[in-house]
Structure 1
Amino acid sequence: MKESGFAVAGSSGEVVIADAMVQPLRSAPLPDWRQKLSEIDWVPDLGEDIGSPRWFRGLATLTLLTVGALSLLPDFAPVYGAQSPMPAGTQLEEVRAQMIMPIAYGSDTGRRMAANDSVRALAASPERPRIELTATLGRGDSFARVLQRAGVGSGDVDRVLGLVSGATRLTDIEPGTTLEIVLGRRTSKNAARPLESLDFRARFDLRLAVNRTESGALSLDRQQIMVDTTPLRIRGVVGQSLYRSARAAGAPAEAVQNFLKVIASRTSLSSLAATDEFDLIVDYKRAATGEVLVGDLMFAGIDRGGKPRIQMLKWNSGDSSQWFEASGVGESRGQLSRPVNGSISSGFGMRRHPILGYKRMHAGLDFKAGYGAPIFAATNGVVAYAGRKGGYGNFVQINHGGGIATGYAHMSRIAASPGQRVRQGQIIGYVGSTGLSTGPHLHYELYRDGRPINPLSITFTQRAQLSGGDLSRFKGELARLKAVKPGAALAPLPASARRNEEPQREIDRISAVKIGSSKPAG
């Protein structure tokens, strides 16, 4: 069969022709939309290629996600429960007592019933049967004013002052002392509360308690506290730093500072060698109740090669206390100290010479002093001259720097040599009558830029010299302190001193009760 130029060989031939026409379509790859979607970068980095189609596509993705998230936000409208009738009467008052809201809005604190018809209002508020309070004695305050401010009546204040002053002076009660006061019930609102008890520590070694007896009178109870007064002695090697070495040895900071001041007044701290030893003693008190009271520095010393080089003891001389050397010579204060212990017998200026018989300039001061009395350097300096000098006799001149110099004449013996560095108060010679002199005395001159000036233009400081009984007591106190062993004040207190003392801490009281009530096992 032949039709339109194509030969058809039955039905099987038609199938072959159809397969040949579809075969090209089968061999061509079909686009997969899922694969194309997966290849698109929907979340590009918006920090890259800003303004490109890829960037705008990422911005669109972000916008769609944000809008979608906002559309899914929950509704914050209040959720209303089932309507219930408001409570009334007693139920309302009980609910109001348990409300959690400010008191100003009508709520109560805790669960309690409000007042009802069975409750009667009081005519007046009841008073506390007793008041316990604590008062502190301030600096510049008085013991009586503290009691009055606490509410103690004037009658009780006068009786307490009489009792306390019989046990200790009121001025000995230090500022900062805590007063434990208990006031009792008063008879009327216009009357002061009676004092039930007063307890305080009057001194470091004394505690006082004032209590009201059954008869209504006030009585005083003295509680003596055992106190160990062994001074705290600390010794050690100077090392690279005297301050650090002393602090590392356990010396209090204030005591170390005072120690450095005392030592610096006798010698330069830079002259101390690392192998030198420091020796300091501090006033130290320990109470049996456990308190410690650190006092002032009492002794300052420097040893070199096992031998004392500097020994300074604080000693009460007259109305004041000052530092004395082991020999009993007091410290000097001021710019220039008096060169000898004695009064002035002749001043500065023109006078008739007692030996030459005519008037001439007296370029210094004459001091009365006994033969052989020590002569001290007026201040630190270097000896410029030491030897015989014409009418001056045995003469010493010291240069102090800044154009200032001092001269000492008529010595019986010179104790300094040229070029020697001396400190204020150091002995440089002894009073005599060498040269043009009518008797033992010291002729003292003061020079400024080589020219003599009136020494009275500068105030002198008298050096104290202990003698007689004062010197003996001074030597005894020095020996007593030096006999204290280092660290002896830190040894445990004897058991007898602590046996009758009540523990001060609550945990100690509880432990003591448990120990006292415990029975041995078995």
Structure 2
Amino acid sequence: MYLAYSDGQFAGGTAALRRSFAVVPSRPAFALAVDLGAGVGSVMWWRGLFTCLILIAASLALSPLTRAVAHQNPGTAAAAAVPIPTATITPVVNRDAMTVAATSVINESLIAALVRSGAGINEAGGVARLLAPYGDMARLEIGTHLTLSLGGRPSPYAPRRLEAVSVTGPGIDARVERVGATFAIHSKRAPTTAPLHLTGRAGDGIFVSASAAGIPPETIQTYLRAINGRIDFGALDPDARYSIVVERARAADGTVKFGRLLYAGLDSQDQSARMIQWTVGGHDGWYDADAVSQARAAGLAMPVAGRLTSGFGMRFHPILGYSRMHQGLDLAAPFGAPIRAAASGTVSFAGWHGGHGNFVQLVHGGGTGTGYGHMSRIAVSPGERVVQGQVIGFVGSTGLSTGPHLHFEAYRGGIAVDPRSMSFSVAPLLDGAQLAAFRARLTQIIRG
């Protein structure tokens, strides 16, 4: 730009710049691109609009032609359009027979397994109803084998015709074949059933040893619960021998299914148990062969191996800080030591009982009873029938207690008495015909 006075003479210096001046822009060079948003109506604006219209017309005139070209049949002079037909897929009617083998990997129903293998649901239902008397068709055992003979498809959208099916697995081994419009059992082989007798060394670990022999974990757990009330595992001789008898069914294909635990036995130098399930006084449970037949008299058995620290009578309570009646015996013993029933009876209470902490009360008949307090853990439930010497809990220090010990009470006619004065005869749990039946069943299971 140029700076000039109003009289047209150029001058320089700061004083001159402070005077009035005019800004004269330089003229831009000619350009095709014109801003149509500025100077509307001016000569330059009209020239830019004219240029824009020329460019649009030129682009339309020079664009390529796009017309649909009809498909021409080769070899014909006429340029006739040929329509392209829509493609469709038609199912093939396959009339060839086939055989399908499948194995159940989940506890599915027989109907679901047959349909999954290619059979129609109606025919699968007919086969399942036919085999229902021979096993649980609503829940096949894992590993059950199915072999299906399937015919062809009678129509494009119909399932294959089921001609025959063989079902082989734990508890079932049968073949069903088509007879006209229905099915019939062609052959059925019952699985062989023979109890499995297993013995092992307890020092090797009962759970590990029995698992290695193929006994299911749930069966081993049932065994351990059964003998828990008769055996002190903490004092178990490593050379002790355990015995397990469990139901077992073997199918024709060699598949094995285990059933109920029949016998739980253990023999050691100073401990033994021979347990089977039996019903005594309306209660089902595991009972020892000796406990149900032996009558014990003249006093209660000591419930825990410990030393007497406090007797029956008035005493100064170490926690409450005053004297009051001590209605039992305090027997000091290691924490977790097993507590055994002083006599056979029924559990009338098992749970938390104020200052007694975890407490178990037994009734023995004839108005007599016993109580066991401060347990760390209770091993019985209300209404359960127990035998003398059975573990009913473990030594602890719950409730108002200064350390691990057992508070042992005895009652006569509902009144607490000194347990050392108790003397009464305990009749056997079973006698006569009931005891004979128990022994016969025990012998049958052991001998197989």
TM-score range, shorter-chain basis?
0.3 to 0.5
The answer to which structure has the higher helix fraction is 1
Q: How does the TM-score come out when normalised to structure 1?
A: 0.42
Q: How does the TM-score come out when normalised to structure 2?
A: 0.47
